Structure 1
Amino acid sequence: MRYMATYDLMETIRNTNQWLGASALSFASYPIFSMAPNPVFQWISAWGEVTERTFQRMVTKPDWGIESITGEDGRDHLITVEPVVSRPFGDLIRFNVAGRDDMDRRVLLVAPMSGHYATLLRSTVKSLLPDCDVWVTDWHNARDIPVSEGKFDIEDYTLYLTDFMRALGSDLHVIAVCQPAPLALAATAYLAEQDPDAQPRSLTLIGGPVNPDASPTDVTDFGRRVTMGQLEETMIQRVGFKYKGVGRMVYPGLLQLASFMSMNSDRHATAFSDQIGRVSRGEASDRDPHNKFYDEYLAVMDMPAEFYLSTVERIFKGLEVAQNAFVVDGHKIDIAAITRVAVKTVEGGKDDISAPGQCVAALDLLTGLPDDKKASHIEPEAGHYGIFAGRSWRNNIRPLVLDFIDANSEDPAKRNRTRPRRKNAPDAGDGPALKAV
């Protein structure tokens, strides 16, 4: 499984299916076939359209798609995405709102490196932009990173976070979503020991596996069942000749996607068959609910092998963060060193990926932090996706997070503060849970 031939074989299968879809769409769309009142041609065309789009977007990074927001002045302000710090494995990007003064709330949103792009947090970013200046960690697809750039494991990830925090200064509020929660906690503790002036003012951990054993799920059970040798043998491959990262050891995005889809295969099969029917009847659109969801869900990226394997070995199996035994660059981090950064945890009562108890375990590790600097929240009806991007986030969690940020900020000075919005948009539901996070 670790050789380029296997990686290229998967890419060949994907490419072939995309070609078959495009060919079927082109063939069945000949005008002459409209003379025959046979619905089979409409069905073939619809199958081709859905198939081509499905397999093409697996290798396409989605756009952020956030073009503007309406300010309290009633004007539309254009949004531009600007790199602030560029690194081989990921950039720190800013969503710059044109024509708006700097906001008092400065937020670093730490995106997971878990098979999907940072655009997974698009709705989270969009909901924060009216009231915050927002920066995001934009991780790169490992297949596009040359081998000469070296390795990237969870220690490197943690050091990237410390560098990003230093670049933004201490007047900062960090929100880590899912997988990076334990590493964001470790990065904050690292700064508390090594560079106290660079610590953020607050840290919000949303649905992350700080202590995976606190509340087992299928994800944690899988990490326990398999050995590291089995993972390396079955999950790790070398990037093929088509990409800049040729030869790099990765956990391929296509292999990850196969795992994601298998967890709910019946639901996905029904969704695609229904979409083919809608396309054949002319009821589908480019941004209908199916395409809106699967454009993001199917867009997967390769993870560096070292990052994936070290996450399983050290976070899930070794419980290094949970036991306050995490080592970064030869330095043993002491989470108790955090004494002035306010920490809040958010969990979903119906989260089947990072179940309640896994994230709030962070507060028990913060023995040096006063109780009035700690907070936690469980959203009873929220699943994993809902706690950072769905209805539960919009209506309940986001206002609480903004209040927490305000409670741990300096009094407004040069920057303008926009008060948290209490009235929410009409309920659109949480949407399907993305299993990759």
Structure 2
Amino acid sequence: MRYMATYDLMETLRNTNQWLGATAKAAASYPAFALIPNPALQWMAAWGEVTERTFERMTVKPGWGIRSITCEDGKDHVVVKQTVVERPFGDLIHFKVQGREEKPRKVLLVAPMSGHYATLLRSTVISLLPDCEVYVTDWHNARDIPVSEGKFDIEDYTLYLVEFLRHLGPDTHVIAVCQPAPLTLAATAYLAEEDPDAQPRSLTLIGGPIDPDAAPTDVTDFGARVTMGQLEETMIQRVGFKYNGVGRSVYPGLLQLASFISMNAERHSQAFGDQIMRVSRGEASDHDAHNRFYDEYLAVMDMPAEFYLSTVERVFKNCEIAKNTFSVNGKRIDIGKITSVAVKTVEGAKDDISAPGQCIAALDLCTGLPDEKKASHVEPGAGHYGIFAGKSWRQNIRPLVLEFIDANSGAPKPATAPKRTTKTANKNAAA
């Protein structure tokens, strides 16, 4: 029962604010009030509308909303989401474009398990669909997973990726976005030693904390500053009685959202204040820029406690990936065993979450990989979100990634001893 009451209290506060918003909206919208025009009533109804929507979205899993795409034949083709591997903590899904021949590029997008749903990569998926067969890791909300399903830590996450890659086969190109980059690198190294025939053709790591100490940020400073005991005491709660995962220890999504918003509280306050005024003036719409962004941003999921704590301890504090000491089920994973999978890193010059230098560290760890199989790219002026879903991704990074995939789509040649050089990989290598 410890911390279960706290979890239910947060849910109660969320539910209460949603109810207050709905009440204010309904009360201020009575037709009789139109006889006495009052700007305060319009503002009250607008506040209620924005508040109700805001707090309601926090517990709703967003839909992918990808219904069709226009293909090379000029026709719109229906897109169907298919589950190809179903597991308790996450599924492997495929976006099947009906009526189109299968594309030779098979891409696995590894989505973060860091508070938001995999739908955060919606625009990334849409941008790749015309040219690729797109598969995505769709992680589940921990509050909905019964305790009987057991734990889920970073070793389990790594083994899930191994299972997904084995299912997809060796002609797969992997793109890992942000948080899963270190574990995707580890999963590739695991396959290199245990099942070489199941290795992907290429691995693109985008804005991931391979070596958090390479370029400190507020995120890495927080991880270094707090102890594991403090994290467990202040961040971990047990799922309340409302959900199937009752009793499971989690890092609650609502608590994560509070942390996200506090990092840019002034900007978020301004955004919601402006939206209330737009609604009161009748200038807002259901799918305007504010609602499109915050419907996704506010939709948060609970993270298994053991996954969160093991990530902080082993990836950020002990730097097991950076030091090449990471192990799964007691067996050390040697990243140097990767000898045939082309590896590319992508970083944003203004990334304040995973700063430049953290991700490119992966190339130094791949000691068994020839230089011609390594590549890197730093996008000028791009922040964290922009390198996988923003303007920088669409205009600059996506074409580079597709070129990299095409350059490494053939069956790998037998491994040879890598050339030892001190030259840093550049964006044109292996691309």
Distance in 2 between residues matched to 1:329 and 1:77, nearest whole Å: 44
Distance 1:324 1:263 in 2: 31
- Equivalenced residue count is 411
Query: In the TM superposition, what is the alpha-carbon distance from 1:41 to its structure 2 partner?
Result: 1.1
Report deviation, 1:410: 2.5
Q: Show the counterpart of 2:213.
A: 213
Distance in 2 between residues matched to 1:220 and 1:37, nearest whole Å: 53
CA distance in 2, matches of 1:94, 1:196: 24
Q: Contact between 1:92 and 1:137, CA under 8 Å: does it hold in 2?
A: yes
- Give the root-mean-square deviation of aligned CA atoms: 0.8
Question: Residue 136 of structure 2 corresponds to which residue in structure 1?
Answer: 136
Amino acid at match of 2:216: P
Match of 1:59, SS state, is coil
Query: Tell me, what secondary structure is at the counterpart of 2:382?
Result: coil
Instruction: State whether structure 2 residue 5 is matched by structure 1 residue 5.
Output: yes
For the residue of structure 1 that corresponds to 2:171, the secondary structure is: coil
Take 1:374 and 1:89, find their aligned partners in 2: how far apart are those partners? 32
Matches within 5 A, 1:151-230: 151-230=151-230
* TM-score, length basis structure 1: 0.93
Aligned to 1:338: 338
CA distance in 2, matches of 1:100, 1:287: 30
For residues 2 and 293 of structure 1, do their structure 2 counterparts lie closer, same or farther at Cα, with a shift above 3 Å needed?
Answer: farther
Does the CA contact (< 8 Å) of 1:2 and 1:233 recur in 2?
Answer: no
Question: Are the aligned partners of 1:210 and 1:362 in contact in 2 as well (CA < 8 Å)?
Answer: yes
Alpha-carbon distance, 1:2 to partner: 5.0
Aligned counterpart, 2:40: 40
Q: Which residue of 1 aligns with 2:286?
A: 286
Q: Which residue of 2 aligns with 1:385?
A: 385
- TM-score, normalising length from structure 2? 0.95
2:250 aligned with 1:250: yes
Residue type of the alignment partner of 1:197: D
Q: 2:172 is aligned with what amino acid?
A: L
1:394 is matched with 394
Provide the rounded CA distance (Å) in 1 between the counterparts of 2:340 and 2:320.
23
Q: Quick check: 1:310 aligned with 2:313?
A: no
Partner of 1:427: none
Name the counterpart of 2:416: none
Q: Secondary structure at the match of 2:103?
A: coil
CA distance in 1, matches of 2:156, 2:175: 19
Give secondary structure in 2 for the equivalent of 1:321. coil
Residue 237 of structure 1, CA deviation: 0.1
Alpha-carbon displacement from aligned partner over 1:299-329 (angstroms, at most 9, x marks no partner): 0000000000000000000000000000011
SS of the residue corresponding to residue 152 of structure 1 reads coil
The amino acid across from 1:332 in the alignment is R
Q: Aligned partners of 2:144, 2:302: CA distance in 1, in Å?
A: 9
Q: Is the 8 A contact 1:338 1:366 kept in 2?
A: yes
Q: Distance in 2 between the 1:15 and 1:235 partners?
A: 21
1:37 CA drift (Å):
1.5
| Corresponding position: 1:265 with 2:265 | yes
Aligned-partner residue type, residue 375 of structure 1: A
Cross-structure match for 2:25: 25
Identity of aligned residues (%): 79
Match of 2:407 in 1: 407
Ranges in structure 1 where 5+ consecutive residues have no aligned partner: 412-437
Instruction: Kindly provide the amino acid, as one letter, of the partner of residue 77 in structure 2.
Output: H
Q: CA deviation at 1:25?
A: 0.7
Q: Deviations over 1:1-39 (max 9, x none)?
A: 951100000000000000000111111111001110111
Provide Cα deviations, 1:179-207, integer angstroms capped at 9, x if missing partner: 00000000000000000000000000000
- Please state if 1:233 is matched with 2:233: yes
Q: Secondary structure in 1 aligned to 2:83?
A: strand
Structure 1 residue matching 2:49: 3-state secondary structure? helix
| Structure 2 unmatched runs, 5+ | 412-431
Q: How many angstroms does 1:101 deviate by?
A: 0.8
The 5 Å alignment of 1:317-396 reads 317-396=317-396
2:414 is aligned to none
Give the equivalent residue in structure 2 for 1:274: 274
